[in-house]
């Protein structure tokens, strides 16, 4: 993905970089798929004095380059577009700095951010785009559009398609469709076992070596190994996978669920009692989290726990991190925005796996996000057809469509709810997932890839699933009053969504 000649100027934004803490009013100039300049000292409204050296972590290493003082005093259409570069060697920096100064308005596209925040494109390491096999729920094209509309510039697709992603051929097919859709950096996680049947190891080596977008960005053909939708309950086989993953530099992403303890659409608690169901105890999740942490400790593989929902799991992961184990975790917006009571209101649209839990679990998940026990927010975007979800709470499939509500629900719940600051939220949704993926993204800095979201955090709006680009309209958040509307998304310098 690269922008055509002329470049792109994003004017009048509040530019925030979660890594350096930069939070300044001003402009960003993009050319050749890269951010060429960010608001420097004196350039943007928030800059003061000439001492504002802009720390610019480039893809290959952090290089601090003082804000170029050659601007024309902060007037004119390109006032903030100062030439600051930081991609490796000084010579490169100089070259980029020269290119960064727009020569004129001809051919240059301008987006007026109108005071909205200009932040790193969001990164979601857990989505289901359903192709191949279930294109009535979603396909790679519609899923990519939903991602762009949600402010996302990178996603990682789970392998539970039909056929499953268990060999290089299926992987390559998805990769080609992702490139074709051209809206997001589409990464893929490979299945641990053939057909995710839990018996025979998948073709892990071939997938790890495949020439995919993930290879270009992260140095491996797949981002991770997972059986998502379920865990690999055969512990001996799980250990073999863990050892292979370690050897290949892949992380394990695990859907922690002991199926001997689960199966119901709701957790054990108030809602299950009212509905007359057995419910799913928190131990169904915690039991496998405990096992996975033990495997990470013994084998030394990178273990990432998916969609953490229970208080007990948060405590186990916190302990593992304190002990220095290579364990990371994600949660999804519904686990910190809702409790099991949502099932009583939204029925099957609030049915997901793991299930929504009690208020104390919700608060524990928030605490985990705040103190870093939970590293990232993923959506677990799981679109389904209308008729499937209309089959009722017991028969409907698990999951909700999440990409187009991810930021607004997170911002409204966590930041406006007073639990964390905006910078931390942005880190949980961009910088930190980039770090887990080994992806040089998630930053706003000169020399960095131009993956950007422009979001109006002041505009209140009502979420309406009928507006979704996703084929999946299944969400309990339709009707919610939220703030944090995505106005535009730019991936690799290309505008992939403009609202
Ligand atoms: Zn999933």
Residue 447 located in a structural domain: no
pLDDT classification of 51: cutoffs 50, 70, 90: very low
- Cis peptide before 418, with omega less than 30 degrees from 0? no
- Taking residues 91-110, report their average pLDDT: 51
Q: 287, 380, 451, 456: which one is catalytic?
A: 380
Is 81 a residue whose pLDDT tops 80?
no
80 Cα to the center of ligand 1, angstroms: 41
pLDDT classification of 303: cutoffs 50, 70, 90: very high
Is 113 a residue whose pLDDT tops 70?
yes
What is the distance between the alpha carbons of residues 398 and 380, in angstroms, rounded to a whole number? 11
Is 258 a residue whose pLDDT tops 60?
yes
330 in the same domain as 227: yes
Structure-token pair, residue 296:
């990470």
Question: What is the DSSP code (8-state) at residue 398?
Answer: S
Residue 141 located in a structural domain: yes
Residue 454 located in a structural domain: no
383 in the same domain as 280: yes
Instruction: Give pLDDT tens digits for 382-392.
Output: 999 999 999 99
471 Cα to the center of ligand 1, angstroms: 17
Residue 243 located in a structural domain: yes
Contacts of 486 (CB under 8 A, 6+ apart): 149, 150, 151, 407, 453, 454, 455, 497, 499
Instruction: Give pLDDT tens digits for 138-151.
Output: 999 999 999 999 99
pLDDT > 90: percent of the chain: 84
Residue 203 located in a structural domain: yes
Dihedrals phi, psi of 52, to nearest 5 degrees: -80, 65
129 in the same domain as 54: no
What is the distance between the alpha carbons of residues 25 and 314, in angstroms, rounded to a whole number? 37
Q: Hey, how many other C-beta atoms are within 10 angstroms of the C-beta on 209?
A: 14
192 in the same domain as 54: no
Strands (E), 103-236: 109-112, 117-120, 122-127, 152-157, 185-188, 190-191, 224-226
pLDDT > 70: percent of the chain: 86
124 Cα to the center of ligand 1, angstroms: 11
- One-letter-per-residue 3-state SS of 222-247: CCEEECCCCCCCCHHHHHHHHHHHHH
- Taking residues 247-255, report their average pLDDT: 97
Domain count, the chain: 2
What is the distance between the alpha carbons of residues 185 and 154, in angstroms, rounded to a whole number? 4
What is the distance between the alpha carbons of residues 309 and 231, in angstroms, rounded to a whole number? 15
- Taking residues 312-332, report their average pLDDT: 98
- Give catalytic status of residue 380 as yes or no: yes
β-strand 8-16 against 109-112: which pairing, if any?
Answer: parallel
Read off the CATH number of the domain in which 326 is found. 3.20.20.140
Instruction: Give pLDDT tens digits for 162-214.
Output: 999 999 999 999 999 999 999 999 999 999 999 999 999 999 999 999 999 99
pLDDT classification of 263: cutoffs 50, 70, 90: confident
Q: What is the mean pLDDT of the chain?
A: 88
Confidence (pLDDT) at 253: 98
Residue 77 located in a structural domain: yes
- Taking residues 28-42, report their average pLDDT: 89
CB distance 355 to 346 below 8 Å? no
- Give residues whose Cβ lies within 5 Å of ion ligand 1: 228, 380
Residue 359 located in a structural domain: yes
pLDDT classification of 403: cutoffs 50, 70, 90: very high
Confidence (pLDDT) at 5: 52
Q: Kindly report whether the global pTM for this prediction surpasses the value 0.75.
A: yes
Confidence (pLDDT) at 107: 82
pLDDT classification of 74: cutoffs 50, 70, 90: very low
127 in the same domain as 108: no
β-strand 481-491 against 494-498: which pairing, if any?
Answer: antiparallel
54 Cα to the center of ligand 1, angstroms: 39
E strand or H helix that includes residue 482: strand 481-491
Confidence (pLDDT) at 106: 63
Is 56 a residue whose pLDDT tops 90?
no
Is 103 a residue whose pLDDT tops 90?
no
134 in the same domain as 97: no
203 in the same domain as 136: yes
3-class state of residue 31 by DSSP: strand
181 in the same domain as 112: no
Residue 2 located in a structural domain: no
Instruction: Give pLDDT tens digits for 429-462.
Output: 999 999 999 999 999 999 999 999 999 999 999 9
306 Cα to the center of ligand 1, angstroms: 8
What is the distance between the alpha carbons of residues 61 and 55, in angstroms, rounded to a whole number? 11
Using alpha carbons only, how large is the chain's radius of gyration in Å?
22
305 in the same domain as 194: yes
CA 266 to each of CA 273, 361, 411, 424, 478: distance values in angstroms, whole numbers, following the listed order: 10, 14, 26, 31, 20
Is 69 a residue whose pLDDT tops 70?
no
202 in the same domain as 78: no
Confidence (pLDDT) at 6: 74
Structural domain including 26 reads 8-117+488-498
Is 400 a residue whose pLDDT tops 90?
yes
Confidence (pLDDT) at 58: 32
137 in the same domain as 113: no
Is 82 a residue whose pLDDT tops 60?
no
What is the distance between the alpha carbons of residues 279 and 9, in angstroms, rounded to a whole number? 53
- Taking residues 393-410, report their average pLDDT: 97
Of 158, 110, 139, the C-alpha closest to 10 is 110
408 Cα to the center of ligand 1, angstroms: 20
Confidence (pLDDT) at 265: 86
277 in the same domain as 149: yes
């Amino acid at each position: 993905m690269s922008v055509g000649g002329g470049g792109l100027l994003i004017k009048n934004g509040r530019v925030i970089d979660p890594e350096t803490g930069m939070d300044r009013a001003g402009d960003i100039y993009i050319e050749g798929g890269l951010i060429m300049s960010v608001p420097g000292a004196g350039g943007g409204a928030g800059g003061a004095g000439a001492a504002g050296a802009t720390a610019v972590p480039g893809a290959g290493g952090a290089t601090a380059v003082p804000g170029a003082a050659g601007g024309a005093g902060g007037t004119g259409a390109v006032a903030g577009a100062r030439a600051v570069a930081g991609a490796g060697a000084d010579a490169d920096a100089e070259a980029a700095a020269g290119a960064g100064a727009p020569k004129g308005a001809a051919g240059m596209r301008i987006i007026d951010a109108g005071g909205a925040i200009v932040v790193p494109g969001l990164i979601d390491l857990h989505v289901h785009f359903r192709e191949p096999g279930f294109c009535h729920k979603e396909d790679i094209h519609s899923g990519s559009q939903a991602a762009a509309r949600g402010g996302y510039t990178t996603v990682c697709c789970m392998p539970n398609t039909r056929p499953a992603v268990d060999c290089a051929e299926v992987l390559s097919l998805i990769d080609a469709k992702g490139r074709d859709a051209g809206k997001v950096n589409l990464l893929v996680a490979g299945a641990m076992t053939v057909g995710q049947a839990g018996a025979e190891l998948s073709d892990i080596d071939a997938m790890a070596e495949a020439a995919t977008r993930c290879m270009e960005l992260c140095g491996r053909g797949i981002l991770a190994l997972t059986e998502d939708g379920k865990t690999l309950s055969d512990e001996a086989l799980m250990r073999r996978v863990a050892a292979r993953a370690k050897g290949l530099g892949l992380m394990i992403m695990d859907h922690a669920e002991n199926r001997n303890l689960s199966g119901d659409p709701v957790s054990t608690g108030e809602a299950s009692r009212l509905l007359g169901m057995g419910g799913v105890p928190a131990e169904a999740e915690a039991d496998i989290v405990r096992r996975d942490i033990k495997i990470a400790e013994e084998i030394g593989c990178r273990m990432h726990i998916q969609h953490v929902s229970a208080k007990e799991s948060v405590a186990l992961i916190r302990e593992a991190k304190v002990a220095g184990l290579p364990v990371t975790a994600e949660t999804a917006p519904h686990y910190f925005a809702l409790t099991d009571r949502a099932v009583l209101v939204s029925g099957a649209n609030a049915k997901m796996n793991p299930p929504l839990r009690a208020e104390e679990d919700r608060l524990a998940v928030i605490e985990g996000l705040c103190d870093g026990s939970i590293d990232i927010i993923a959506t677990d975007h799981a679109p389904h057809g209308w008729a499937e979800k209309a089959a009722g709470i017991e028969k409907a499939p698990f999951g909700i469509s999440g990409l187009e509500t991810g930021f607004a629900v997170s911002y409204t719940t966590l930041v406006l709810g007073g639990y964390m600051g905006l910078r931390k939220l942005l880190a949980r949704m961009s910088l930190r997932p980039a770090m887990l993926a080994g992806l040089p993204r998630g930053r706003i800095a000169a020399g960095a890839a131009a993956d950007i979201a422009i979001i109006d955090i002041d505009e209140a709006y009502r979420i309406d699933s009928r507006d979704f680009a996703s084929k999946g309209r299944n969400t309990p958040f339709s009707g919610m009053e939220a703030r944090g509307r995505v106005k535009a998304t730019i991936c690799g310098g290309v505008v992939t969504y403009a609202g």
